[in-house]
Amino acid sequence: MFSSTKNSLNLIRAASFIHKYLRNRSLDLFRKYELRYMPWVEMNDDLLSDENIPDIESTVFISMLLDALIPLQREVILRKFIYGFSDAEIAGRKDNRTGRKEWYMGKSTGAGLKTP
């Protein structure tokens, strides 16, 4: 009876040893594969720098310039260059004419502005 217990204990130890050996060997092979085939990525600084994003100095300078304008000028500049409005949209005209009205210039009726 003692020998069967000893044999089963030896079998358990052998199975445990084989299990640990196979687990460690598989981890070693995995690490070896990972180190051998690790992909290398070359960093290209030209791709990382985006010219469309202004630097902080330019942003501060533009803010200072816009703050120096009177409110109407600031509003026109923002609508034209930031929001992309057309001249007609900025002028609030629906007929897409950007010039002054003809009656103001005196071309349509020939009367022009009346002076006192």
Per-residue model confidence (pLDDT) at position 113: 45
Following CA atoms 66, 69, 71, 76 in sequence, which dihedral angle do they give, to the nearest 10 degrees? -70
Range of the domain at 60: 51-103
Please count the structural domains in the chain.
2
For residue 109, being part of any structural domain is answered with no
* 19 and 63 housed in the same domain: no
pLDDT in tens, 23-66: 999 999 988 887 777 667 777 776 666 677 777 888 899 899 99
86: CATH = 1.10.10
* 90 and 55 housed in the same domain: yes
For residue 115, being part of any structural domain is answered with no
Name the region of 84 (left: φ>0; alpha: ψ -120 to 50; beta: rest).
left
